[in-house]
Every structure is written in C-alpha cells, then in structure tokens.
C-alpha cells in the first residue's frame, strides 16, 4: 500500500479549502495522509488537478484559495477526483 503525505504531493493553498491541487500525477488507489485522516484516491489525478480532502455535501461550494469555483452536484468523499463535464470532455481522446 502506497501512503503519501499530502504536503509532499499536493497543495492546500488556504486552511479553509476543501480540495487540494496535485503537484504530480497520483495514481488511483494511492492513500493520502492528511493530519489524522487517511483516504484513498478514487481515480488517477493529473498534476494541477484537484481532489477532495474533506467531505463535501451536495450543494456545498468547492473551495480553492478559499474561493468558490464550483458547487457539488452530489456528495463528495475525501479522495474523490473533482472535475466537471467540460474537463472530462477535454480529456477524452
């Protein structure tokens, strides 16, 4: 089991953020240790992309730099890859 410290593989720009920014490619199933919690990434997260670091309820704002950049359409668990339809379309081959 690969366990990585959050600060070594991602940035949480502000203390109030609920998503982190990956600083390298992180494979699905990687365990991230953040403080007293550990969670597994549900999908591969590319460098510069975001994943949840705490539970986010349906309708709650997604925060990076303590600024909202989206709203959760469903409940999001820690370790979930955070994306939107436009990003998924752009990544399709």
- Residue 83 has a pLDDT of 82
CATH number for position 76: 2.30.130.110
Phi-psi region of 44 (alpha: psi -120 to 50; beta: other; left: phi over 0): beta
- How would you write the pLDDT of the chain (93 residues) with one tens digit per residue? 679 999 999 999 999 999 999 999 999 999 999 989 999 999 999 999 999 999 999 999 999 999 999 999 999 999 999 987 676 677 675
CB 15 within 8 A of CB 30: no
- Residue 87 has a pLDDT of 67
- Residue 93 has a pLDDT of 55
In three-state secondary structure terms, 65 is coil
DSSP-derived secondary structure for 31-44: EEEETTEEEE-SS-
- Non-local CB neighbours of 15 within 8 Å, separated by 6+ positions: none
CB 84 within 8 A of CB 50: no
The burial class, CB within 10 Å (0-12 / 13-18 / 19+), for 1 is exposed
Whole-model pTM?
Answer: 0.89
Domain coverage including residue 8: 3-91
Domain count, the chain: 1
């Amino acid at each position: 089991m690969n366990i990585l410290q959050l600060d070594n593989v991602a940035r949480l720009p502000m203390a109030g953020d609920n998503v982190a920014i990956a600083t390298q490619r992180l494979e699905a199933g990687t365990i991230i240790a953040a403080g007293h919690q550990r969670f597994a990434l549900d999908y591969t997260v590319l460098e510069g992309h975001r994943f949840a670091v705490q539970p986010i309820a349906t309708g709650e704002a997604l925060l990076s730099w303590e600024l909202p950049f989206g709203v959760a359409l469903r409940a999001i668990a820690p370790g979930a890859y955070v994306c939107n339809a436009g990003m998924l379309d752009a990544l399709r081959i």
